[in-house]
């Protein structure tokens, strides 16, 4: 017998229905400019709510009411999370969060800056306040970027004669990557569904040094085998940007698909993206970057499959928000660009080491449009080692800071950008300045508990009454937009891990924007033993020691200065919080050995096992370049060797001889673990197409897991146990 809904459930249902209907009526007539105007007016009329002074008990009541309201809204969104409801509840929570944030800021400026207790206290107080200003700025910018997320569907070319389709050049720039990595991408590029007379694949080799001469000869042999065209140059000026610009003068396609050497494309890539270019003003179609191997955070903290990876926030949310404002930008790969527009702006930008974003800025400034299509169309390799990850992130940090310094997208009158575009580009180019603010957050309680400095005057319950609504309502607002792509407190872990590195390079880029060069991210490396990356984590280790010392100092404060207990306990909570996150960030440098030689992917491929005249059907659970796990439709006694046929999503096929490692029972199903034997070159190529190219939709396209504040923090706190646990098996124990 079904129970009737309770009064509370009925109220939630009514709220979930009324709120979207109200916003529909208000916003039905508004375009992007009018939406921007509405937001500005709302903020203006909210000024009295921000500056009205209250007694501490009154502010405490207001804080409880605000947090209760935020919690109710989050419950409504969680229980009735249709796209329309979530969108409008998010807008409401943004407004509520901004009110509490600016009220907190008003309180900080007027009551807590410690400028009259000596120059050391004043310096610490100003530095902490500047760090908070940066954090508030990034919060406001992210709110703006996520006001409205644009969802796109592919535009069909079926009603256009193939003779009139765009011609497409596929560029695969390469410098020193392993030939096998480049080959996988080239094979998949050749297999992309598109008229053969309208598509050419170019390998752009930038490895002109004597040490790479043999590699160039191997690339030529590979191109001869596959039907690609090898383009080379005598230098590698301007690195990847120069490589692409050199190719522009030697090719003629209307459109150019750019793929990093490790970015294996789906066969449907062009059929799902080229249609957007039927609109003449479209210059660029960008798709997400997705990596089929765990990055250092996933592997070293043992989070794979449990926590969204670092770039999901950008590709699943921020780029779609940018796209709403016509500000989605080029990410260097997995993108199609219009040749004529690229030539018009002088080719790929070469003045910074993030040539991709810089190029987009110039395209937008020329009045052209970009498109972000949120479907994973490439499978790439993430950096295996933390040091390689650091190198990649610091290059992006340097390049974005260079763009900010050279172009000044927010205020430069020479750029023909809309106000929303300026805001989106300013958000992107200022993002990597989190380094020193994040370190200041870690050091602020240390300055009080270890050195006796007081960065916040009167820190105690009154400050918390203003600060907690600011922090928690921002978390509630971000939860609605980010709940599938960025779990609570993981952003802090990422920032702590990179804080010292990005802090240095962004400062240098602001002072000397011409300093620094493009560095290639090393991928395809094997991590065969446990090591600790002292070089990448040393600065954070030192910070961690100071934070630990601040926690140890608390009993001395409580004994010898009990009158300061309120401030001491608040700083203790702050230090414990910081120490937990810093510890997780440090453990990212504790390299975990790979358990397998080849990366395993979750793929459900149709499988047929041939054994003694029998054909046994099954489906793969996961697969690598060297083996697979296969669920069998029936129990069978398999010998040591079998013949295996695998079929992709669109009938790409490969047949192989396999060794049966063992057959196990998994949930009352027989599962065969097999290792591929003596694969020929043709079989390896066919297997690569089946695994990486012939895919309707990658499993990472849709994530079902949802953020939970307390569980997320507990999972971070458990990083010690997961990272330091003995490895279950050495690298050579299993290749499948």
Q: Going from the N-terminus, what domains does the chain have, and what CATH number goes with each?
A: 162-385+408-418 (3.90.550.10), 606-694 (2.40.10.220)
SS3 673: strand
Closest CA to 194 of 277, 274, 271: 271
Q: Is 206 a catalytic residue?
A: yes
Q: Is 295 a catalytic residue?
A: no
φ and ψ of 660, to 5 deg: -85, 115
**pLDDT, tens digit, 9 for 90 and up, residues 470-509:** 999 999 999 999 998 999 999 999 999 999 999 999 999 9
Assigned token pair, 305: 């499959």
Instruction: Please give the average per-residue pLDDT across 234-255, as a whole number.
Output: 94
What's the Cα-to-Cα distance from 555 to each of 251, 311, 451, 461, rounded to whole Å? 71, 41, 15, 20
φ and ψ of 486, to 5 deg: -150, 110
Mean of per-residue pLDDT scores for the chain: 89
- How many CA atoms, within 13 angstroms, populate the side-chain half-sphere of residue 597? 10
Percent of the chain, pLDDT > 70? 90
pLDDT at site 22: 55
Low-confidence winner among 21-30, 35-44, 334-343, 620-629 (lowest mean pLDDT)? 21-30
φ and ψ of 98, to 5 deg: -65, -40
Predicted confidence (pLDDT) at residue 361 exceeds the cutoff of 90: yes
pLDDT at site 501: 94
Instruction: Please give the average per-residue pLDDT across 155-164, as a whole number.
Output: 94
**pLDDT, tens digit, 9 for 90 and up, residues 289-311:** 999 999 999 999 999 888 998 88
Helix axes 7-27, 32-45, angle to 10 degrees: 120
List the alpha helices (DSSP H) in 366-489.
Answer: 386-407, 419-430, 435-449, 461-482
pLDDT at site 734: 40
Q: Which of 205, 262, 356, 625 is catalytic?
A: 356
Q: By the 8 A CB rule, do 333 and 260 touch? A: yes
What's the Cα-to-Cα distance from 546 to each of 439, 445, 447, 574, rounded to whole Å? 12, 10, 9, 13
Closest CA to 700 of 323, 289, 301: 289
DSSP annotation of 19 reads H
Length of the chain: 736
φ and ψ of 328, to 5 deg: -65, 135
Q: By the 8 A CB rule, do 587 and 300 touch? A: yes
In terms of phi and psi (left: phi > 0; alpha: psi -120 to 50; beta: otherwise), the region of 293 is beta
- Distance (Å, whole) CA 640 – CA 547: 57
- Distance (Å, whole) CA 639 – CA 662: 10
Predicted confidence band of residue 432 (pLDDT cuts 50, 70, 90): very high
Q: Which of 206, 323, 533, 625 is catalytic?
A: 206
φ and ψ of 281, to 5 deg: -85, -5
The CA-to-CA distance between both ends of the chain, in Å, stands at 50
**pLDDT, tens digit, 9 for 90 and up, residues 596-614:** 678 889 999 999 999 888 8
Q: By the 8 A CB rule, do 504 and 435 touch? A: yes
**Which contacts (CB < 8 Å, 24+ apart) does range 473-476 have?**
473/66, 473/67, 473/70, 473/93, 473/96, 473/97, 473/100, 473/101, 474/97, 474/101, 474/139, 475/709, 476/70, 476/71, 476/73, 476/74, 476/93, 476/97
- Distance (Å, whole) CA 513 – CA 520: 19
Which single residue is written with the structure tokens 């709940």?
483
* Spatial CB neighbours of 465, under 8 Å, sequence gap ≥ 6: 56, 59, 60, 62, 63
Residue 22 has a CB neighbour count (10 Å cut-off) of: 12
φ and ψ of 675, to 5 deg: -120, 130
pTM of this prediction?
Answer: 0.91
């Amino acid at each position: 017998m079904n129970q009737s809904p309770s009064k509370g459930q009925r109220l939630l249902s009514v709220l979930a229905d009324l709120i979207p209907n109200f916003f529909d009526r208000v916003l039905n007539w508004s375009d992007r400019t009018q939406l921007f105007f509405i937001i500005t007016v709302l903020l203006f009329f909210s000024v009295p709510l921000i500056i009205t002074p209250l007694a501490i008990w009154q502010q405490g009541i207001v804080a409880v009411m605000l947090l209760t309201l935020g919690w109710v809204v989050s419950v409504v969104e969680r229980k009735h999370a249709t796209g329309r409801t979530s969108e409008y509840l998010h807008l409401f929570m943004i407004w509520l969060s901004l009110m509490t944030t600016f009220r907190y800021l008003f309180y900080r400026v007027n009551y807590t800056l410690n400028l009259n207790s000596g120059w050391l206290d004043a310096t610490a107080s100003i530095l902490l306040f500047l760090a908070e200003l940066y954090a508030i700025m990034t919060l406001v910018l992210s709110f703006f970027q996520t006001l409205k997320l644009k969802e796109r569907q592919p535009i069909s070319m079926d009603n256009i004669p193939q003779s009139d389709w765009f011609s497409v050049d596929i560029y695969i720039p390469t410098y020193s990557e392993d030939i096998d990595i480049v080959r996988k991408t080239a094979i998949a590029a050749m297999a992309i569904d598109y008229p053969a007379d309208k598509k050419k694949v170019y390998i752009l080799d930038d490895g002109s040094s004597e040490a790479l001469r043999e590699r160039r000869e191997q690339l030529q042999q590979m191109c001869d085998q596959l039907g690609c065209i090898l383009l080379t140059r005598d230098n590698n000026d301007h690195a990847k940007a120069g490589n692409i610009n050199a190719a522009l003068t030697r090719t003629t396609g209307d459109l150019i698909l750019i793929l990093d050497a490790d970015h294996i494309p789906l066969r449907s890539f062009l059929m799902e993206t080229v249609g957007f270019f039927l609109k003449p003003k479209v210059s660029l179609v960008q798709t997400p970057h997705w990596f089929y191997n765990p990055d250092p955070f996933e592997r070293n903290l043992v989070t794979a499959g449990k926590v969204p990876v670092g770039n999901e926030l950008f590709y699943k949310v921020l780029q779609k928000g940018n796209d709403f404002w016509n500000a989605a930008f080029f990410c260097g790969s997995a993108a199609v660009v219009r040749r004529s527009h690229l030539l018009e702006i002088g080719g790929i930008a070469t003045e910074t080491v993030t040539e991709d974003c810089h190029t987009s800025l110039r395209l937008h400034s020329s009045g052209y449009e970009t498109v972000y299509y949120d479907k994973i169309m490439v499978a790439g390799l993430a950096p295996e080692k933390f040091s390689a990850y650091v190198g990649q992130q610091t290059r992006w940090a340097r390049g974005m800071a260079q763009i900010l310094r050279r172009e000044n997208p927010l205020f430069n009158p020479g750029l023909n950008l809309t106000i929303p575009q300026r805001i989106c580009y300013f958000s992107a180019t200022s993002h990597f300045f989190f380094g020193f603010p994040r370190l200041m957050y870690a050091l602020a309680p240390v300055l009080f508990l270890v050195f006796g400095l007081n960065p916040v005057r009167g820190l105690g319950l009154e400050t918390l009454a203003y600060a907690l609504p600011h922090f928690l309502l921002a978390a509630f607002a971000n939860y609605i937009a980010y709940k599938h792509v960025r779990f609570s407190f993981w952003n802090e872990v990422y920032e702590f891990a990179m804080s010292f590195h990005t802090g240095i390079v962004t400062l240098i880029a602001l002072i000397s924007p011409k300093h620094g060069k493009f560095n290639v991210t090393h991928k395809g490396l094997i991590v065969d033993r446990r090591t600790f990356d002292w070089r990448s984590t040393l600065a954070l280790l030192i910070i961690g020691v100071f934070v630990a010392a601040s926690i140890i100092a608390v009993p001395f404060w409580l004994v010898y200065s009990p009158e300061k207990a309120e401030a001491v306990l608040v700083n203790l909570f702050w230090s414990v919080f910081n120490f937990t996150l810093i510890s997780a960030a440090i453990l990212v440098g504790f390299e975990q050995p790979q358990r397998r030689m080849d990366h395993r992917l979750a793929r459900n491929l149709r499988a047929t096992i041939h054994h003694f005249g029998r054909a046994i059907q099954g489906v793969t659970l996961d697969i690598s370049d060297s083996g697979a796990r296969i669920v069998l439709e029936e129990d069978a006694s398999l010998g040591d060797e079998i013949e295996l046929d695998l079929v992709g999503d669109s009938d790409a096929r490969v047949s192989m001889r396999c060794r049966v490692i063992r057959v196990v029972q998994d949930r009352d199903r027989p599962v065969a673990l097999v290792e591929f034997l003596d694969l020929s070159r043709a079989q390896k190529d066919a297997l690569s197409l089946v695994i990486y190219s012939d895919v309707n939709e990658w499993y990472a396209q849709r994530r079902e897991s949802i953020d939970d504040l307390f569980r997320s923090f507990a999972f971070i706190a458990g990083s010690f146990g997961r990272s330091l646990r003995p490895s279950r098996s050495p690298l050579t124990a299993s290749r499948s």
